[in-house]
Structure 1
Amino acid sequence: MMTSFALLCLSIAIIECMAGILGNGIILAASSSSCIGSKTWPPYDMIVISLSSSRFIVQSWNTLDSLMTIFYENFYYTENVYLVPKTIFTFLSYSSLWFGAWLSVFYSIKVASFTQSFFIWLKLRIARLVPWMLLTSWLCSFTAAISFVWDDHSVHENSTAPSSMTNSSAWTTTRKDSLGLLILISNAGIGMPLILSVVSSVLLIRSLWIHTRRMQNNASGFRDPSLEAHLKAIKSVCSFLFLYIIYFICVLFILFNIFSHLSNGEMICVVLMAACPTGHSFVIIWSNPKFQKLPARIWHHTNCPIRTSSLHSFLSIK
């Protein structure tokens, strides 16, 4: 039975997802427009297009999921029906985590200044590696999602089997084996992008902080645009890392069914899972002038006819 708190949280999550759809749509449109007509796509645009498109789809799906939960709860959460949306949610969540991690790795390789030979090797070859990185992410996400839900479904079948047909100790052993396989698959699907994101973000923050301290020591007292750009980049990376970790924890809680269905804990996770990708999308827009220009152009074209008609009305009155 849905409580008033659950209804409130689902409504907030829908609003957050709608804002995220708008933000990711802006990023996707701006990145795609710069790639249309070009034979080779820049690696940054390839990552951002993959990330924004996956988040656009996952937040659209979460909006539909929340609406189905509100209006068709009894039908939607039956075993046979709920298996499909959980598979889709798992795949989209894994994909979003992978692409977000690759964006952090790309930032770190391109911006950070390290002299290690492996780092230099990556910097020279990152453009050729990006398509393979993205393809591998799709395959890993698909495999992990199918395996995860298959294992979860097997555990559910064992738990609902009649006692006359299932030995209690055998069921416990099967459940432990299934849980171990589930943990292994989850670590392969979620743990690796989390490690990549944290390590690359920490390295990038360290590199930017070192450069910022040097600029502050050499500052002449006037406003330095380079110093402000470095401080803005540090804030962006820290914000992304914070939002990424929260999103990772919430996805883990939902996939492992840590909280009971429609409990306060699960609803808080749903709200945070909708808020974190939305927040990161607007951080990307805020930190990149290319993404800021598209809303300004849309706003300008939207207001131009209004201003023109207002001017004509004013002249006619005169």
Structure 2
Amino acid sequence: MDFTTVDIVELVVSFIQFLFGITINGFIMGTFSMQWRRNKSLQASDTVLMFLSTTRFFWQWVLSLMILYNYITFSLDFLQLLTYISNFLELSSLWLTFTLCFTYCVKITDHPNSLFIYVKLRVSMLVKWMLLASLLASLAFTLLLRFSWDIFSTDTDPRNSTETNGTPSSELLVCYMGAVPPFLIFCLTLLLFIYSFWIFIHRFKRSRTGFESPVLSDHLKVLKKIFFALFLYVMYFISSGLFLFKRQQMAHWERWLFIIYQFYPTAYLGWLILLNCRLKTVFLSIYQRALRLIRNKSQITQTQRAV
């Protein structure tokens, strides 16, 4: 197969993105796995974050294999299996993102409502059920999505799904079928958190204690995490929408839109590392050890050359 310049650039970008994705997700998986092995327990938010990074770690591998399909011939059955797995991991990622933001909100918010107090006191047990519900919902929507897609699709090659019985609007409806429910619940959680934050700010003003408070700082950190998740949700909908609507008019951009589409999950976890004190501390520790190791090897090499 002859490779054009565009093909080479695409493969290089995909490879860099793949390395970045498995490094970030693998780092989070490894950090929390060792913590669980040491303490036999994890905080609710850390448990969700470990599940989310695991999902996106395997999703990164599947997406990379699907990109390689443009250059390496796989059997259609194998590609179809990859597509099903990709859909499941994608929807799991969206549902787990909502679960993570919900956990952050419950953890930091203080509200006198009896139902909220009940949820807050039992958030660790509730998160376990939410994780199970997220995976089951993802599986159910994956099966529904594939069944609905078979109604519209007339092409036997899953890679080339431009020939369909339906319009791009119907294709978009099918693709968003599993993505919209977690997004709507996420938006509801965001609105409730903003309302709680607004009440908290008014209490702060009345107390006249100033705005230098650890509680306020925690609220702002959670708000940053949630709004960045909202930005990436929107990015996902835009990139997937462009992928469906523009691929016939802009065929040469189809693969690049796919690269943008697979970037948002890793970007969110990288952002969480910057905002998570424990992850940031471990990451900086590993980085400093790596620098010391490189310096030591460099000094040994220079000494050997001098001798």
What is the TM-score of this pair, normalised by structure 1? 0.75
- State yes or no: 1:211 paired with 2:208: no
CA contact (8 A) 1:212 1:231 kept: no
Q: Distance in 1 between matches of 2:224 and 2:44?
A: 23
Q: Between Structure 1 and Structure 2, how many residues are aligned?
A: 291
Query: 1:94 deviation in Å?
Result: 0.7
| 1:146 match | 143
Q: 1:269 pairs with 251, 257, 266, which one?
A: 257
Q: Deviations over 1:163-208 (max 9, x none)?
A: xxxxxxxxxxxx67xx989957953x32221112122123224433
Q: 1:278 pairs with 243, 261, 266, which one?
A: 266
The verdict on how the C-alpha distance between 1:123 and 1:11 changes in structure 2, with shifts beyond 3 A counting, is: same
Which structure 2 residues correspond to residues 63-212 of structure 1 after superposition, within 5 A?
63-69=64-70, 71-72=71-72, 75=73, 80-157=77-154, 183=173, 187=177, 189-212=178-201
Give unpaired runs (5+ residues) of structure 1: 161-174
Query: 1:17 deviation in Å?
Result: 3.4
Q: Match of 1:141, SS?
A: helix
| 1:166 match | none
| 1:171 match | none
Moved more, 43-52 or 137-146: 137-146
Letter in 1 for 2:84: T
Q: Deviations over 1:251-298 (max 9, x none)?
A: 4665xx444377256345323322211211111101111111222222
Letter in 1 for 2:121: L
Q: Distance in 1 between matches of 2:7 and 2:192?
A: 39
CA contact (8 A) 2:108 2:219 kept: no
Q: 2:230 pairs with 222, 232, 241, which one?
A: 241
- State yes or no: 1:35 paired with 2:22: no
Q: Distance in 2 between matches of 1:232 and 1:140?
A: 29
Q: Match of 2:111, SS?
A: coil
Q: Distance in 2 between matches of 1:19 and 1:312?
A: 29
Q: Distance in 2 between matches of 1:230 and 1:313?
A: 51
The verdict on how the C-alpha distance between 1:259 and 1:305 changes in structure 2, with shifts beyond 3 A counting, is: closer
- State yes or no: 1:300 paired with 2:288: yes
Give unpaired runs (5+ residues) of structure 2: 157-164
Name which one, 1 or 2, has greater alpha-carbon Rg. Answer: 1
Q: Distance in 2 between matches of 1:18 and 1:34?
A: 24
Q: Distance in 1 between matches of 2:247 and 2:78?
A: 18
The verdict on how the C-alpha distance between 1:92 and 1:306 changes in structure 2, with shifts beyond 3 A counting, is: closer
The verdict on how the C-alpha distance between 1:95 and 1:104 changes in structure 2, with shifts beyond 3 A counting, is: same
| 2:162 match | none
CA contact (8 A) 2:91 2:138 kept: yes
Q: Distance in 1 between matches of 2:179 and 2:57?
A: 20
The verdict on how the C-alpha distance between 1:111 and 1:229 changes in structure 2, with shifts beyond 3 A counting, is: closer
- State yes or no: 1:24 paired with 2:21: no
Query: 1:155 deviation in Å?
Result: 3.8
Higher relative contact order (CA 8 A, sep 6+): 1
Letter in 2 for 1:130: V
Q: Distance in 1 between matches of 2:88 and 2:67?
A: 18
Letter in 1 for 2:187: V
Letter in 2 for 1:20: G
Write 1 or 2 for the structure with the bigger share of helix.
1
The verdict on how the C-alpha distance between 1:307 and 1:107 changes in structure 2, with shifts beyond 3 A counting, is: same
Cα RMSD (Å): 3.8
Q: Deviations over 1:107-128 (max 9, x none)?
A: 1111122333332222122211
CA contact (8 A) 2:98 2:182 kept: yes
